[in-house]
């Protein structure tokens, strides 16, 4: 599997399971049509139609592309359930349920730095 070279900050978040600061990420407020892929391996993760405004400071999605995300078995009461790219294992963020922000009642809170946006047609 070919992996993209990462900056030190990308390594801190994607490989060391860090978190970028809220409201600074490149994709927090994007509304264009396209696909969000993994920054490390470029596997498709989320369609733009599943992105929504949650005002949490990070990009939020209520559904992933089928089979794209791996969920950790442990659910932290404060931090939610960790999610990683199913293809390369890169850290993406966390899933939260029970917030009633969308009909699916799920929020994938994803670090912008873990993503790359590809404008155009969704998967």
DSSP for residue 20: P
Of all helices (H) and strands (E), which one includes residue 96? strand 91-97
Active site residue 109: yes
CB 116 within 8 A of CB 29: no
Interatomic CA distance for residues 90 and 83, integer angstroms = 9
Whole-angstrom distance, CA of residue 114 vs CA of residue 89:
11
Q: Which residue has the tokens 């929504």?
A: 52
76 in helix, strand or coil? strand
Positions marked catalytic: 109
């Amino acid at each position: 599997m070919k992996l993209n070279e990462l900056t030190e900050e990308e390594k801190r978040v994607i490989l060391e399971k860090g978190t970028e600061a809220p409201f600074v990420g490149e994709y927090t407020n994007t509304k264009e049509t396209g696909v969000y892929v993994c920054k490390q391996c470029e596997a498709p993760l989320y369609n733009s139609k599943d992105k929504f405004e949650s005002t949490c400071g990070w990009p939020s999605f209520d559904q992933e592309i089928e089979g794209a995300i791996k969920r950790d078995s442990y659910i932290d009461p404060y931090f939610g359930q960790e999610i990683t790219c199913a293809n390369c294992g890169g850290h993406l963020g966390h899933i939260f349920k029970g917030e009633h922000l969308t009909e699916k009642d799920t929020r994938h809170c994803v670090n912008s730095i873990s993503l790359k946006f590809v404008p155009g047609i969704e998967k």
